[in-house]
Amino acid sequence: MTTEEARAISLKALVDKENNRVIFVESDEDFTDVLFSFLTMPMGTIIRLISNHNQPPTVGMGCMNNLYESIKNLDMQRFRTEACKTMLLCPRNCAAPQNKRLKLQIDDGEQPRYFLCTTDCTLFGHKLSLYPNAVCECGQLMDTTIELSEKTVFDARDRGVFVKGLNQFIIIDELQVKPSSIEASLSVVSKLGLMDSSTIEEYNIDIGVDEVLTLLKCSLVSKKPLTETLLKQNSAPKFSKKDFDQNINVESTVEEPKSNVDGKIHVKLIISKSRKMVWYAEASEEFVNLVSSFLTVPLGYIIREMQSGISKGSLTHLYNSVKELDTEKYLKSNEHKKMLINYGSRSYAVSFELTSDGQIPSGYNRRSSILTVKDPKSHFKEATRGGFVTGPRMFTVTDNLIITPISQVQSLSPLTKLKVPFSDIEERVVNVGSETVLRLLVASFVSESALTNTFMREPNPIQSG
């Protein structure tokens, strides 16, 4: 047996042969944990994994692909530190300690590492960075790797990562996860109107990393991701532009730090009066920093901020399944549930402490056992924290979130190509506050016209169901 075969997860799938679709699969905690881990992944990680898996661009990710490519193509000199670009293209998953215990590892960047500079910074204590080549307070690059022992000791008998071990679940094609029972199984079959048992067949299927990556992609765009993955129906569903140009309604459930977004960021929109759409925006680095930070936001947070009236693949079903599961019976703890459905702050300041087990390299001050993780975006010459991108700079941000340093020639070029009369162009200055940022975050995920949806359209009332 190969290593890959040993790590595969075995599933029992009930298949409707007549319609060539998966009715549901039955699995223990291994597959359920892998599914739930999707919600912990930052958007930048998801885009990177799908791209590295040689998958075609994912239609259903709105403008996120454009945003990622813009950051990737932006010159390193535009960033405050080298670590800033790494933070956006390879963001750290705060659930990495949990995810590295998954039976199938799909994120090649999951293993946490920490970095120090080569100087004995006794005046500052032991500063750590989560990303390589951040700039230490002494001015040296933090490029020396250090590994810290985990404080948590996992018992080999302690099965399960997010869900309790020895539980069985059924996962419906749309990624609804339910505790396994005869009642639940019959309910699924009944809802599909399957009356003839001769059309139903049981399959034993082994899935590995490739299948999980395909499932991750399909979950973003499809209502039948299990069928497309397990039965090898890999043709991505076809969507028209109107499927993504949805009016966005968001009510923030997170209190935004006053120092983060206070409504004082001004953005100039270049608008088509006749089409009622935003061509592009002229914005400072503060706005670009906010938009760029979307790549660090976990998928579960975005699904949480989406209202029920906005459909997006099968992710809402997955998210709601976690919400509805009885924590005491099926999940490891309340904290594990929060990792999945109440996931994290969008604040990109890093500030917490870790304790070392004496693995500090020789030459460092061993009198202190507290290692403070610094904000990798901060530079030793600056008194205050900054964003990812340096200023003062102005940028062009298109409606579908392509970011480029501003150029008046380039900004007029798309208007010229589209033969837009200058008389149809209007300039409008808008203020960006916390609620606007949340609407833009959701719009960038579900829409190909993020700026238009955020600034030009009235939000839909919340829809039920």
Q: Which residues of 168-203 are buried (b: 16+ CB within 10 A; e: fewer)?
A: ebbbbbbbbbbeeeeebbeebbeebebeeeeeeeee
Same-domain pairing of 208 and 302: yes
| Range scoring the smallest mean pLDDT among 15-24, 38-47, 121-130, 435-444 | 121-130
The pLDDT score that the predictor gives to residue 465 is 33
The pLDDT score that the predictor gives to residue 188 is 92
**Domain assignment of residue 8, given as a range:** 3-101+154-348+387-455
417 is a domain residue: yes
The pLDDT score that the predictor gives to residue 417 is 66
Same-domain pairing of 248 and 182: yes
Asked if residue 312 lies in contact with residue 305, where contact means CB atoms within 8 angstroms, the answer is no
The pLDDT score that the predictor gives to residue 52 is 81
Out of 364, 382, 400, a domain closes at 382
Tally of domains in the chain: 2
The pLDDT score that the predictor gives to residue 347 is 36
Residue corresponding to tokens 């920093």: 289
Tokens (6 digits) for 18: 């007549």
Q: What is the 3-state secondary structure (H, E, C) of the chain?
A: CCHHHHHCEEEEEEEECCCCEEEEEEECHHHHHHHHHHHHCEHHHHHHHHHHCCCCCCHHHCCHHHHHHHHHHCCHHHECCHHHHHHHHCCCCCCHHHHCCCCCCCCCCCCCCEEECCCCCCCCCEEEECCCCEECCCCCEECEEECCCCCCCCCCCCCCCCECCCCCEEEECCCCEEECCHHHHHHHHHHCCCCCHHHEEEEEEEECHHHHHHHHHHHHHCCCHHHHHHCCCCCCCCCCHHHCCCCCCCCCCCCCCCCCCCCCEEEEEEEECCCCEEEEEEEEHHHHHHHHHHHHCEHHHHHHHCCCCCCCCCHHHHHHHHHHCCHHHHECCHHHHHHHHCCCCCCCCCCCEEECCCCCCCCCCCCCCEEEECCCCCCCCCCCCCCCECCCCEEEEECCCCEEECCHHHHHHHHHHCCCCHHHEEEEEEEECHHHHHHHHHHHHHCCCHHHHHHCCCCCCCCCC
* pLDDT tens column, 47-65: 999 888 766 555 557 899 9
342 is a domain residue: yes
180, pLDDT greater than 70? yes
| Range scoring the smallest mean pLDDT among 136-145, 284-293, 397-406 | 136-145
Average pLDDT over residues 12-17: 94
114, pLDDT greater than 90? no
Average pLDDT over residues 429-451: 91
107 is a domain residue: no
| Distance from C-alpha of 463 to C-alpha of 465, rounded to nearest angstrom | 7
8: Cβ contacts below 8 Å, ≥ 6 apart: 104, 206, 207, 208
Residue 358 Ramachandran class (φ > 0 left, ψ -120 to 50 alpha, else beta):
left
464 is a domain residue: no
Tokens (6 digits) for 462: 């919340």
42, pLDDT greater than 50? yes
Average pLDDT over residues 107-112: 64
334 is a domain residue: yes
Distances (CA, A) of 91 to 87, 219, 392: 5, 21, 25
The pLDDT score that the predictor gives to residue 386 is 64
φ, ψ (nearest 5 deg) of residue 128: -115, 155
| Distance from C-alpha of 69 to C-alpha of 83, rounded to nearest angstrom | 17
Out of 336, 362, 382, a domain closes at 382
The pLDDT score that the predictor gives to residue 353 is 34
| Distance from C-alpha of 99 to C-alpha of 110, rounded to nearest angstrom | 7
The pLDDT score that the predictor gives to residue 234 is 53
**Residues in a beta bridge with 242:** none
> Higher-confidence residue: 116 or 326?
326
The pLDDT score that the predictor gives to residue 130 is 76
62: Cβ contacts below 8 Å, ≥ 6 apart: 244, 443, 444, 445, 446, 447, 448, 450
Same-domain pairing of 279 and 143: no
For residue 421, how many other CB atoms are within 10 A of its CB? 9
Distances (CA, A) of 258 to 376, 436, 455: 21, 14, 22
Residue 71's pLDDT band (boundaries 50, 70, 90)? very high
Average pLDDT, rounded, for the chain: 78
pTM: 0.82
The pLDDT score that the predictor gives to residue 201 is 93
* pLDDT tens column, 214-255: 999 999 988 999 999 999 865 544 444 444 444 454 444 333
Out of 357, 382, 407, a domain closes at 382
The pLDDT score that the predictor gives to residue 455 is 93
Same-domain pairing of 135 and 167: no
Same-domain pairing of 354 and 344: no
First to last CA, the chain: 46
| Distance from C-alpha of 40 to C-alpha of 369, rounded to nearest angstrom | 30
The pLDDT score that the predictor gives to residue 97 is 84
> Higher-confidence residue: 424 or 171?
171
Average pLDDT over residues 104-108: 85
> Higher-confidence residue: 376 or 199?
199
Same-domain pairing of 133 and 193: no
Same-domain pairing of 61 and 131: no
460 is a domain residue: no
The pLDDT score that the predictor gives to residue 107 is 84
* pLDDT tens column, 310-364: 666 899 999 999 999 999 999 999 999 999 987 544 433 333 333 333 344 444 4
The pLDDT score that the predictor gives to residue 362 is 41
95, pLDDT greater than 70? yes
For residue 344, how many other CB atoms are within 10 A of its CB? 17
Tell me which residue of 95, 4, 3, 91 sits closest to 46, measured CA to CA.
91
| Distance from C-alpha of 168 to C-alpha of 178, rounded to nearest angstrom | 9
462 is a domain residue: no
The pLDDT score that the predictor gives to residue 354 is 36
Same-domain pairing of 143 and 201: no
Percent of the residues in the chain that have a pLDDT greater than 90, as a whole number: 43
208, pLDDT greater than 70? yes
138, pLDDT greater than 90? no
Same-domain pairing of 7 and 79: yes
Tell me which residue of 128, 162, 124 sits closest to 39, measured CA to CA.
162
67, pLDDT greater than 50? yes
The pLDDT score that the predictor gives to residue 112 is 62
Same-domain pairing of 143 and 195: no
152, pLDDT greater than 80? no
| Range scoring the smallest mean pLDDT among 7-11, 51-55, 170-174, 453-457 | 51-55
The pLDDT score that the predictor gives to residue 359 is 40
Tell me which residue of 113, 82, 40 sits closest to 304, measured CA to CA.
40
465 is a domain residue: no
Same-domain pairing of 224 and 286: yes
Same-domain pairing of 43 and 90: yes
| Distance from C-alpha of 121 to C-alpha of 262, rounded to nearest angstrom | 35
| Range scoring the smallest mean pLDDT among 18-27, 65-74, 106-115, 386-395 | 106-115
